[in-house]
Amino acid sequence: MLYDVAIGLVWAVMLPLFLLAGVLKPRLARKALSLSTVGLTRLSPTGSGRKRVLVHGVSVGEIKASQSLVHALQERYEVVVSAFSDTGMQVARQLFPEIEVVRYPFDFAPIVTRFWRLVCPDFVLLVELEAWPCFLRAANRRGAPVAVVSGRITEQSFRRYQLFGALPEFGRISLFAAQDEAYAARFAALAGSSARVLVTGNVKVDGLRGAGDSDSDGRLQRLREEVGVEGVTPAPFVIVAGSTHEPEEEAFVAAARGALPDARLILVPRHPERAEAVQEALSRGGVPDHAPERLSELRAQGRRADPRRPLLVDTIGELEELYGVADAVFIGGSLIPHGGQNMMEPAAQGVPVVYGPHVDNFLNETQMLEAAGAALRVPDAASLGDALGTLAGDPGMRRRMGKAGRKALRAERGATVATLEALSARIGLA
C-alpha cells in the first residue's frame, strides 16, 4: 500500500511535468501518455485456442536479444512485444513488423490494471530483468506465470535491489533462466531460494547477425556506398565507434585521427537524440575534415558521404549492419564509468573489437572474447589510438581476431533451446 501511494504521487507530479515539457519536445509528452496506456487499444482475442505471450525488453539491447526466442515462440503462441524506451519501441517495430508492439506501463496500479485488461497475456517473459511490484502482482492475480529469460544482474544492480528489501517481490517470479552461474547466484539470493533458478545461457548469442548471413551482401553493398567507402582507392581503413556516450565521441575522433589520419570514421551514439550536440562538439575546432556529416541529412539530400569527414549515424537500428562495413570497432560506454555496451555483435561478424576499461556490465562477454584473442582492452583514451593503429597495420592480426570471435560465439549458441525447455518444464510454456 505504501508503494502504491508513493508511486502514485510520483506519477501525479511527473505526468504534468512531462506534458509541459512536451510543448518544446513533443516526444516527451507522447512517451508520458503511452506509459499511462493512453492510445493502447484492446488486443483482439487469440484464435484457435492459442495463448498469448508477452515478451518484454527495456530498450534496444533487450529487444534485440529476444529475437531468437520470439521467433521460436511464434510457432505455437501469439506473441506481443513490449518495451519501455522510445528506441526500444522503434527497434521492436523494425525487427517484428508482423507482431503487436506495445509500451510497457508505468508501475502505478490503475495504469497496470488497464494494461492487463487490454493486453491480457497468459505468460510474461522478462528479458534479462525488469521487475516491478504492481506489474508482478497483477500477473499473479490473473494466474499468468512470469519468467526472467536470459537473466542477468550486475553486482551494482544486485546491491541496489537488496536495498529495497521485500520489493520488487521476486517471489512472484516463477522462473529465473539466468545466463551464467554468477547471475544465477544473485537471483537466488534475491528470490530467497535457488529452486526457481536455472542456468540456460544467453539467448542474445543465438540471434546475432553473422558474417555471410543470407541477404546481407546486397545490404552491405548499399551501406558501403552510403557511408562513402565503396569504390574509394586506396580503400580506407574503416572504424565504427558503436553506442558511444558523452564525451567519448571527441576522445575517439582525436585518438583515431592522431594514429590514422586517413581512416574512415563512423560514429553511432547510443542515444540518437544527441546527434546535434555531438556534431557541434566535433565541429568546434573549425577543421573541415573534423566536422561530421549526419547520415539522415545525406539520405534526405541524396548525397554521398565524404570519406574524409566523420560520419555521424543518427538513425535507429542500423548499428549491427554497420559493424559489417568496419575493419575495426570501438565499443562505447567503456572509456567512461558506464559499464560498456554490447561487443558481441561486431565479434559475430568477424570484426576485431576494442574497448576501454569500464566494461562491468559485460564481464562474461569480455572475458570470453579476450580469452579467445578476439578483443583488445585499452586502459584509457590515450591508448585507443595505439590499438587502432596496430590493427590497421596488421591485416593478419585482424583476420585472426575476427575468426576467433566468430568461433567463440558459435560455441556459445544453444541458449534458446535450453530456455524453451526450462519454460516448458517450469511454467508450462511448451
Which residues have a catalytic role annotated?
Answer: 62
- For 150, residues 6+ apart whose C-beta sits below 8 A from its C-beta are 65, 66, 69, 127, 128, 177, 179, 200, 201, 202, 203, 204, 415, 419
CA distance 284 to 291: 8
- Residue 282, all three cell numbers: 566535433
Look at residues 128, 127, 129, 69 and name the one whose alpha carbon lies nearest to residue 99. Answer: 69
318 DSSP assignment: -
* Helix pair angle (381-392, 395-410), 10° resolution: 100
Do the bridges between strand 353-355 and strand 375-377 make them parallel or antiparallel, or are there none, so unpaired? parallel
* Whole-angstrom distance, CA of residue 134 vs CA of residue 153: 21
**3-state secondary structure (DSSP) of residue 237:** coil
> C-alpha distances in angstroms, 252 versus 86, 335, 381?
27, 9, 7
- Most distant CA pair in the chain: distance in Å? 68
Q: What is the CA radius of gyration of the chain?
A: 22
